[in-house]
């Protein structure tokens, strides 16, 4: 029996990798222009980090985490998201002692054992940023603007930016109470999931996609009406700043996000190419997570882009760079030795080159050079070796010339520039 990948996990093959490298390189470049530095945290963490951070009653912690006991009996989990590990590292490594405001980004795989479907794999990939150390609405504006700038930079069109405010934790408690009161005698009208949410995570009812729940919520108390003056100002200032940056957005009062740690600003970007799983980026402010993870009260804000969905939304396949600068075709054992030396010499001089390792005929080697998209082929047989030359053929026009073996690498390098 051939062994296959696990359900919900995928290989990314060389022919597909071009678009992945493209979106990652563009992200790194832009994030760094905005002053963010990369952080790489482990894929495994203590389970309690996510239970505390994301919230006991959330779908992620309740049913989606890959958790198990290691040999020492410790409860550990594959990270289902990137923010809690970044905050853990921020505290553990005292990053706040070096700078008052810390701006970080990460790129990497996350794991959730959901039912796999289009745009939702069990191993998925996120590119995220976190700004830790400020309460300023300018930070929220920067984070949302950076998301927009990134989409524009990679040529993504047709996305929608939706923003909302959830209020501070005091406001959240208040709105939970009001919503409980409102739904108390209407729970029989809720869908099966929302009946559970009603008890465990009531705000999540706001982002239920079931029509009956949506209809019910239209007359429910609104978060925006229940938040304090400070949170209202924060949201109003954010909106004004986004307008000054020419960011188009819509206010969507039903964005609550599936994680407990969000406070004040919550936002997402959606794309019509993606069907029901249409969010390509989600983020917001999380002013209590640093404190809840063991630090002091620290304002923070960030986002995570779902790389798999982003690539689906882009809808284009970018060819991975596979064209070769030069193919070394050889005939005979002694020429092979010399060709192998030259081929490796070219490589370390910045010329991509390759040759045959299967003892094929010259004709087969030329075919292989074509398949690899080689711009030039160098031909070396016994005759050439006798004369101390190598034949260089331009594959575009078929022109050939002889070059002294000693000058060969320098001559080919000149062709590159
Ligand atoms: Zn508030
Ligand atoms: Zn529902």
Task: Compute the C-alpha angle 45/47/49, nearest 5°.
Answer: 75
Q: 190 alpha carbon to ligand 1 midpoint, in Å?
A: 28
What percent of the chain stands above pLDDT 90?
Answer: 77
What's the confidence (pLDDT) of residue 234? 97
C-alpha to C-alpha distance for 283 and 262, rounded to whole angstroms:
8
C-alpha to C-alpha distance for 8 and 61, rounded to whole angstroms:
19
Q: 210 alpha carbon to ligand 2 midpoint, in Å?
A: 5
The residue-averaged pLDDT of 97-101 equals: 91
2: left (phi over 0), alpha (psi -120 to 50) or beta: beta
332 pLDDT band, cuts 50/70/90, is: very high
What's the confidence (pLDDT) of residue 12? 95
* Burial environment of residue 248 by CB neighbours within 10 A (0 to 12, 13 to 18, 19 or more): exposed
Q: Distance of alpha carbon 299 from its chain centroid, rounded?
A: 23
114 pLDDT band, cuts 50/70/90, is: confident
Please identify every residue whose CB atom is under 5 Å from ligand 1, which is an ion: 167-168, 171, 228, 231
Q: 180 alpha carbon to ligand 1 midpoint, in Å?
A: 19
Report the DSSP pairing between strands 102-111 and 123-132: antiparallel
Q: Each residue of 218-232: pLDDT tens digit?
A: 888 888 888 999 999
| Nearest ligand, measured from the Cα of 191 | 2
Q: Each residue of 369-379: pLDDT tens digit?
A: 999 999 999 99
What's the confidence (pLDDT) of residue 417? 60
The residue-averaged pLDDT of 328-335 equals: 96
| Nearest ligand, measured from the Cα of 171 | 1
CB 172 within 8 A of CB 264: no
Count the neighbouring beta carbons within 10 Å of the beta carbon of residue 70. 9
Q: 212 alpha carbon to ligand 2 midpoint, in Å?
A: 7
Q: Each residue of 186-196: pLDDT tens digit?
A: 999 999 989 98
Q: Give the length of the chain.
A: 417
Q: pLDDT at residue 311 above 60?
A: yes
| 108, 217, 287 from 24: Cα distances, Å | 10, 39, 28
Q: 205 alpha carbon to ligand 2 midpoint, in Å?
A: 6
Residue 242 tokens, joined: 């986004």
Domain formed by 17-168+227-314, architecture: 2-Layer Sandwich (3.30)
Residue 117 DSSP label: B
Please state which of the four CATH numbers 3.40.50.300, 3.50.50.60, 3.30.420.300, 3.40.50.800 is assigned to the domain occupying 326-412.
Answer: 3.40.50.800
Q: 219 alpha carbon to ligand 2 midpoint, in Å?
A: 15
Q: pLDDT at residue 209 above 90?
A: no
What's the confidence (pLDDT) of residue 336? 96
| Nearest ligand, measured from the Cα of 189 | 2
| Nearest ligand, measured from the Cα of 235 | 1
Q: Each residue of 271-282: pLDDT tens digit?
A: 998 887 889 999
C-alpha to C-alpha distance for 122 and 124, rounded to whole angstroms:
6
Q: 214 alpha carbon to ligand 2 midpoint, in Å?
A: 7
Residue 128 tokens, joined: 């995220």
| Nearest ligand, measured from the Cα of 202 | 2
256 pLDDT band, cuts 50/70/90, is: confident
Report which of 78, 107, 82 is spatially closest to residue 6, judged by C-alpha positions.
78
What's the confidence (pLDDT) of residue 319? 58
**pTM > 0.85:** yes
| Nearest ligand, measured from the Cα of 232 | 1
What's the confidence (pLDDT) of residue 275? 84
Residue 120 DSSP label: B
Q: pLDDT at residue 262 above 90?
A: no
What's the confidence (pLDDT) of residue 10? 94
The lowest-confidence range among 43-52, 348-357, 378-387, 408-417 is 408-417
Residue 20 tokens, joined: 């992945």
| Nearest ligand, measured from the Cα of 231 | 1
Q: 211 alpha carbon to ligand 2 midpoint, in Å?
A: 8
Q: 282 alpha carbon to ligand 1 midpoint, in Å?
A: 21
116 pLDDT band, cuts 50/70/90, is: confident
Q: pLDDT at residue 349 above 80?
A: yes
What's the confidence (pLDDT) of residue 115? 83
* 326-412 matches 17-168+227-314 in CATH topology: no
Q: Over the chain, what is the mean pLDDT?
A: 93
The residue-averaged pLDDT of 308-331 equals: 84
Torsions phi, psi for 46 (to 5 deg): -65, 135
* Spans of all domains in the chain: 17-168+227-314, 326-412
What's the confidence (pLDDT) of residue 224? 87
Q: pLDDT at residue 62 above 90?
A: no
CB 131 within 8 A of CB 231: no
The residue-averaged pLDDT of 71-96 equals: 96
What's the confidence (pLDDT) of residue 321? 59
Q: Distance of alpha carbon 306 from its chain centroid, rounded?
A: 5
Q: 6 alpha carbon to ligand 2 midpoint, in Å?
A: 31
The residue-averaged pLDDT of 116-144 equals: 94
Q: pLDDT at residue 87 above 70?
A: yes
What's the confidence (pLDDT) of residue 208? 85
C-alpha to C-alpha distance for 332 and 326, rounded to whole angstroms:
19
The residue-averaged pLDDT of 64-72 equals: 94
What's the confidence (pLDDT) of residue 354? 97
255 pLDDT band, cuts 50/70/90, is: confident
Q: 193 alpha carbon to ligand 2 midpoint, in Å?
A: 6
Q: 69 alpha carbon to ligand 1 midpoint, in Å?
A: 39
5 pLDDT band, cuts 50/70/90, is: very high
Q: 216 alpha carbon to ligand 1 midpoint, in Å?
A: 25
What's the confidence (pLDDT) of residue 66? 95
Report which of 332, 412, 416, 345 is spatially closest to residue 378, judged by C-alpha positions.
412
199 pLDDT band, cuts 50/70/90, is: confident
Q: Each residue of 35-58: pLDDT tens digit?
A: 999 999 999 999 999 998 888 878
320 pLDDT band, cuts 50/70/90, is: low
| First CA to last CA distance, the chain | 50
Q: Distance of alpha carbon 407 from its chain centroid, rounded?
A: 46
């Amino acid at each position: 029996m051939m062994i296959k990948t696990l359900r919900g996990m995928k290989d990314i093959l060389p022919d597909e990798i071009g678009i992945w490298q493209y979106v990652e390189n563009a992200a790194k470049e832009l994030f760094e222009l905005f002053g963010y530095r990369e952080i790489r945290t482990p894929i495994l963490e203590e389970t309690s980090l996510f239970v505390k951070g994301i919230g006991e009653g959330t779908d992620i912690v309740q049913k989606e985490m890959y958790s198990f006991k290691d040999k020492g009996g410790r409860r550990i989990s594959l990270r289902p998201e990137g923010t809690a590990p970044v905050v853990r590292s921020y505290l553990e490594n005292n990053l706040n002692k070096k700078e008052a405001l810390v701006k970080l980004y990460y790129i990497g795989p996350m794991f959730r054992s959901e039912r796999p479907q289009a745009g939702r794999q069990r191993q998925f990939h996120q590119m995220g940023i976190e700004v830790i150390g400020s309460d300023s609405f300018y930070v929220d504006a920067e984070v949302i603007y950076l998301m927009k700038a990134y989409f524009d930079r990679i040529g993504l069109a047709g996305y929608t930016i939706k923003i909302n405010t959830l209020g501070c934790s005091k406001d959240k408690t208040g709105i939970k109470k009001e919503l409980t009161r409102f739904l108390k005698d209407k729970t029989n009208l809720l869908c099966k999931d929302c009946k559970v949410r009603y008890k465990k995570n009531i705000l999540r009812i706001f982002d239920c996609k079931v029509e009956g729940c949506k209809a019910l919520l239209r007359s429910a108390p609104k978060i925006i009406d229940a938040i304090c003056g400070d949170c209202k100002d924060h949201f109003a200032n954010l909106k004004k700043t986004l307008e000054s940056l020419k960011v188009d957005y819509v206010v969507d009062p039903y964005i609550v996000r599936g994680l407990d740690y969000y406070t004040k600003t919550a936002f997402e970007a959606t794309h019509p190419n993606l069907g029901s799983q249409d969010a390509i980026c989600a983020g917001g402010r999380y002013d209590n997570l640093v404190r809840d993870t063991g630090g002091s009260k620290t304002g923070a804000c960030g986002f995570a882009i779902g790389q798999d969905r982003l690539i689906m939304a882009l809808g284009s396949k970018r060819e991975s760079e596979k064209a070769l600068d030069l193919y070394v075709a050889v005939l005979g054992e002694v020429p092979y030795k010399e060709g192998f030396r030259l081929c490796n010499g070219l490589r370390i001089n910045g010329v991509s080159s390759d040759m045959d390792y299967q003892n094929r005929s010259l004709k087969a080697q030329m075919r292989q050079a074509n398949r690899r998209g080689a711009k030039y082929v160098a031909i070396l047989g016994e005759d050439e070796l006798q004369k101390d030359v190598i034949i260089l053929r331009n594959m575009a026009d078929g022109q050939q010339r002889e070059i002294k073996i000693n000058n060969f690498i320098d001559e080919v390098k000149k062709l590159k520039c």
